[in-house]
């Protein structure tokens, strides 16, 4: 369990650490892998969400998954990627949250994931919570904990 004081400071205004869906780069499962490669190269991110036409989160596509797919194509050449769709290389969504205030869950997922998707109860994609935004909060906490709480070491007791 996260220490309540730490949680309160990290969790202040949870919506503010969500990158909203409108500004998250994404592709659809029916896009070609060539298109997905172009999107990833243009935005500079290594992994982005895959959405269906109703904005439901379907999976993830990454540069690594596209490269891996390419390496399985005989005589691998980038133009061959137009014969495949995102669905052919898409990764499953292992972790997501339905509430940005679920900080303990988010921190646990974030040990292994660079971002955690946020979806509503209907599975509609709402945005992402990134390591960067959470680290900004941790940085704030590290600099301000002593302003809001009395933090003193516990008495050392000899046994
Ligand atoms: P990565 O693409 O592996 O990016 C790792 C970190 O590199 C990012 O961490 C960010 O600090 C920096 N970075 C990479 N490309 C950037 C760019 N075009 N502009 C600014 N900074 C860039 P986070 O910001 O914590 O993001 C974690 C992951 O979340 C990213 O991993 C990416 O997969 C995803 N992501 C972040 N913002 C996104 C967005 N607007 N659209 C789609 N995916 C996004």
Q: Got the DSSP string for 4-68? A: HHHHHHHHSSGGGG-EEGGGS--EETTSBHHHHHHHHHHH--SEEEEE-TT-BEEEEEEHHHHHH
Asked, for residue 83, whether it belongs to a domain, the answer is yes
For residue 159, the model assigns a pLDDT of: 61
Per-residue pLDDT of the chain (159 residues; tens, 9 = 90+): 888 888 888 888 889 999 999 999 999 999 999 999 999 999 999 999 999 999 999 999 999 999 999 888 777 677 788 999 999 999 999 999 999 999 999 999 999 999 999 999 999 999 999 999 999 999 999 998 888 888 888 887 666
For residue 120, the model assigns a pLDDT of: 96
For residue 158, the model assigns a pLDDT of: 67
Asked, for residue 157, whether it belongs to a domain, the answer is no
Provide the CATH number for the domain around residue 132.
3.10.580.10
* Alpha carbon 15 to chain centroid, angstroms: 15
For residue 105, the model assigns a pLDDT of: 96
Which of 105, 89, 92, 98 is closest to 36 using CA atoms? Answer: 89
User: Domain span at residue 11?
Assistant: 4-148
Ligand 1-lining residues (CB < 6 angstroms): 19, 23-25, 43-48, 114-115, 128, 130-132
41 close to 52: Cβ distance less than 8 angstroms = no
Asked, for residue 112, whether it belongs to a domain, the answer is yes
CB atoms near residue 21 (< 10 Å): 19
For residue 146, the model assigns a pLDDT of: 87
Handedness of CA 125, 31, 132, 107 (dihedral sign): positive
Asked, for residue 117, whether it belongs to a domain, the answer is yes
Please report how many Cα atoms fall inside a 13 Å half-sphere around the Cα of residue 59, on the Cβ side.
Answer: 15
Asked, for residue 33, whether it belongs to a domain, the answer is yes
Asked, for residue 153, whether it belongs to a domain, the answer is no
Most ligand 1 atoms within 8 A of CB, residue of 130, 133, 134, 136 to mutate = 130
80 close to 72: Cβ distance less than 8 angstroms = no
Residue found under tokens 């302003």: 147
For residue 5, the model assigns a pLDDT of: 86
Domain count, the chain: 1
Asked, for residue 131, whether it belongs to a domain, the answer is yes
Which tokens is 136 given? 């900004």
Buried b vs exposed e over 129-154: b needs ≥16 C-beta within 10 Å? Answer: bbeeebeebeeebeeeeeeeeeeeee
Asked, for residue 155, whether it belongs to a domain, the answer is no
Most ligand 1 atoms within 8 A of CB, residue of 18, 44, 45 to mutate = 45
What distance in angstroms lies between residue 153's CA and the mean position of ligand 1's atoms?
Answer: 37
């Amino acid at each position: 369990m996260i220490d309540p004081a730490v949680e309160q400071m990290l969790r202040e205004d949870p919506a503010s650490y969500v990158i909203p869906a409108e500004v998250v780069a994404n592709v659809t499962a029916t896009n070609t892998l060539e298109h997905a490669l172009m999107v990833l190269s243009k935005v500079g991110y290594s992994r982005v969400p895959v959405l269906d036409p109703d904005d439901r989160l379907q999976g993830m596509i990454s540069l690594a998954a596209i490269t891996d797919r390419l390496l399985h194509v005989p005589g691998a050449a980038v133009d061959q990627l137009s014969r495949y769709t995102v669905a052919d290389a898409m990764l499953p969504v292992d972790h997501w949250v339905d509430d940005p205030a679920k900080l303990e869950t988010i921190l646990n997922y974030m040990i292994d994931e660079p971002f955690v998707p946020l979806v509503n109860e209907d599975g509609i994609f709402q945005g992402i919570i990134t390591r960067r935004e959470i680290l900004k909060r941790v940085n704030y906490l590290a600099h301000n904990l002593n302003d809001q709480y009395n933090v003193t070491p516990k008495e050392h007791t000899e046994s």
